[in-house]
A and B are shown apart, each in its own frame.
Chain A
């Protein structure tokens, strides 16, 4: 009579299923429906801007992505790869095929194509607007899968629901925010999930899927360098802390080779995949892991004495070789002025780099360090659940939980450098908080169950019942399973662990409760009831804050402005009216000059050629425009004439109190222009070190083209 090894999938006889398998099945169905609801929640919480305003694309960058997607859907993929855009960066043009991250546009284009073939006639704009909410639902499901690999289903579900609502992620993925992060965060979490899955199972199939998912991430966002640096760091951490196993090799080595090849396939990355410092960490750790694997292999086939001999020999010879190689590498890297790193990465590593050397990067408001309140605004309750999650990850520490801890620490550092990287912190914070909340819930509910079962035991007069309330035998077996989970020597794969756990459960005939018991920690009943209530209240606060943030703070499309005054709601649609005026009243080939913020919108909505746009790839061209705006009228006219400009677009908010107009950004124009053309000096525009735009402004300021354009006939409108 064979003991059923796996009571939940294989039944040796067809009779009624045992209560544990019924409960397991019920739990699975419940988890499925909860996940479905989480997806719906993630989608719907991002629809506030569509409800409050309209289904429109927001901000600046999404308009470029929308224009590229339009081109893709109209002309097909070959024209898209080969597209040279002559309607921006006049007269230089821009190679779109080679400088855009194609993941987002290809995804939306594919969705549109599939819908068209199913005869669902959604316009390209609708698909673009709703791509982000759909992918945030996928991201929530990916978070569930990732956290399930780390800690289990309960933690997974909690983490998924936290991610569906975390304000930081909502801010970059509302309906209408058609930007790279919309799909990139999903790709990030999914890649990490597949990495952890490969680490846990040691299966080459998941390693292949991991590489493909990494490819999707490289296609989608420049932040893929975070993955290709975090995973080697984790591998190094595992090696250094003595957790090397062959599963680590299978998880890492194929990823490096396949990943580098796949990254080289994406035109915008190209040969940077093997030549820039961002990727060197992965190659270095690739070499290290091979050395370590070889060392372990030799240790396995040699006797200990021989291994010691081998070690001394290798160390003496290898050290010399190593030093030589390192010397050569250092010389090669040090010969390049930026040590091989790109400007963006350098500004991440050294937060003061951008403000000293690259004013364009420093001028973007998203690249500023965040303030302390923004952590609470964007993460809310998670900000103080994260440390609890870190502690929960340490007991017990596994490869997966060490990875999540490393991910969290790195993302906290980077979020401290740039506010837009809070987005990378959000999934880590949700995972940690999910783990913490799930552990807390487990302790509370276990205490309550223990209390209820001890109550019923007290009321039961039959002493023969096997009550799991007694701390005797179940605890013994719990410790045995605990030892099996914790053993560092044997570390069985995931399948083995589950089978052994089930074997122990079946052998003891105890109820499912002892399977979930990790320690016999039980709190008094009143404490646990009250704590449960407080935890639910905490969750309620989080939900209320998230919904408020989604509705009020992050749903503004910034192309349409509203203001409430005593005579009702004013809607300012000035941007679109201006672009429509340009589109109707100018020739198709007319060139429009404006500050680079408005470039994408002008090409997308007004369909006119612009001089500079948000891609900011050519600093000198932007500095030319900045100089023209800061010069006196005649000099500015000459510069614009040399660029064949017919119209100059200026945004002025002084009439209605719009705070981020061109006069507000003017000092950045001066700085960037002055960085290339030394005759523009910033102190000339400041009176006593202060930026003034009233009658006390300096003559240089009052005569500048920007000032004259902004305040032209201002008196006509206000008097």
Chain B
């Protein structure tokens, strides 16, 4: 009773991964580049959390600004991907240049904030 369902689950999982991979490879290259950027940003954030777990949280300002800037730029890149994706009917008359300009502006603001946080404020 258990074995057949386990086998079918494993088959299902494999079929699932295969279909996911085939569907994902059909996405256009510019979106894949954005996805890569998002993955890189999240990976950097994970490394920083790992560092926190190992070494401790002393300059908490720096940790906060580092992690939040990684997460922030990942979120903004996802927003860019949403707006640039041609399959998204809501944004079909938004020129991709405008989307990219918004992305750059947002990142500028994010990094401006992020660079002033580690220096902190005179306590």
Contacts and interface: CB of A to CB of B under 8 A. Distances in A.
Interface in B59-91: 60-61, 64-65, 68-69, 71-72, 75-76, 78-80, 82-83, 87-91
Interface in A485-518: 490-493, 495-496
B78 A249 contact: yes
Given A202-B83, A302-B23, A309 B75 contact: no
Which one of A81, A208, A262, A495 has the greatest number of beta carbons of chain B within 10 Å?
A: A208
A262 B68 CA distance: 11
A717 interface: no
A208 B122 contact: no
A313 B64 contact: no
B117 A204 contact: no
A96 interface: no
A265 B68 CA distance: 13
Interface stretch (A251-259, A323-331, A384-392): A251-259
Contacts of B19: 302-303, 306
A61 B9 CA distance: 66
Contacts of B122: 78, 81-82, 97
Contacts of B64: 261, 264, 271, 274
Contacts of A257: 68, 71-72, 75, 110
A298 B117 CA distance: 36
Given A253-B75, A253-B78, 14 more contacts: A81-B121, A82-B122, A202-B90, A203-B102, A212-B109, A245-B90, A246-B88, A249-B82, A261-B72, A261-B114, A271-B60, A274-B64, A306-B20, A313-B12
B30 interface: no
B90 A247 contact: yes
A207 interface: yes
A62 to B, nearest CB: 25
B109 A258 contact: yes
Q: Which bucket holds chain A's interface residue count?
A: 35 or more
Contacts of B116: 265
A204 B109 contact: no
A306 B76 CA distance: 29
B12 A309 contact: yes
B15 interface: yes
Contacts of B121: 81, 97-98, 265, 267
A310 B15 CA distance: 10
Contact of B113 (A258, A491, A492): A258
A39 B40 CA distance: 50
Contacts of A81: 121-122
B34 to A, nearest CB: 13
B58 to A, nearest CB: 13
Contacts of A274: 64
B123 A267 contact: yes
B52 interface: no
B93 interface: yes
Interface of A: 78, 81-82, 97-98, 202-205, 207-208, 211-212, 245-247, 249-250, 253-254, 257-258, 260-262, 264-265, 267, 271, 274, 293, 298, 300-303, 306, 309-310, 313, 490-493, 495-496
A78 B121 CA distance: 10
Interface in B104-123: 105-106, 109-110, 113-114, 116-117, 121-123
Contacts of B39: none
Contact of A306 (B16, B87, B88): B16
B37 interface: no
Contacts of A253: 75, 78-79
Contacts of B87: 300
Interface of B: 9, 12-13, 15-16, 19-20, 23-24, 26-27, 60-61, 64-65, 68-69, 71-72, 75-76, 78-80, 82-83, 87-91, 93-94, 99, 102-103, 105-106, 109-110, 113-114, 116-117, 121-123
Nearest to A490: B89
Contacts of A98: 121, 123
A271 B94 CA distance: 38
A78 B64 CA distance: 24
Contacts of A246: 82, 88, 90-91
A491 B88 CA distance: 12
B70 to A, nearest CB: 10
Given A247-B90, A261-B110, A204 B83 contact: yes
Contacts of B89: 490, 492
A306 B15 contact: yes
Contacts of B99: 204
Contact of A250 (B23, B61, B65, B79): B79
Given A246-B90, A262-B113, A313 B23 contact: no
B113 A265 contact: yes
Given A97-B122, A258-B72, A495-B93, A313 B16 contact: yes
The 5 closest A-B pairs by CB, nearest first: A204-B102, A257-B72, A301-B23, A253-B75, A246-B82
B75 A254 contact: yes
Contacts of B65: 261
Contacts of B106: 204-205, 207-208, 254, 258
B117 A265 contact: yes
A84 to B, nearest CB: 11
A493 B92 CA distance: 10
Contacts of A264: 61, 64, 117
Contacts of B103: 204
A302 B99 CA distance: 26
Given A250-B82, A271-B60, A208 B105 contact: yes
A211 B68 contact: no
Contacts of B88: 246
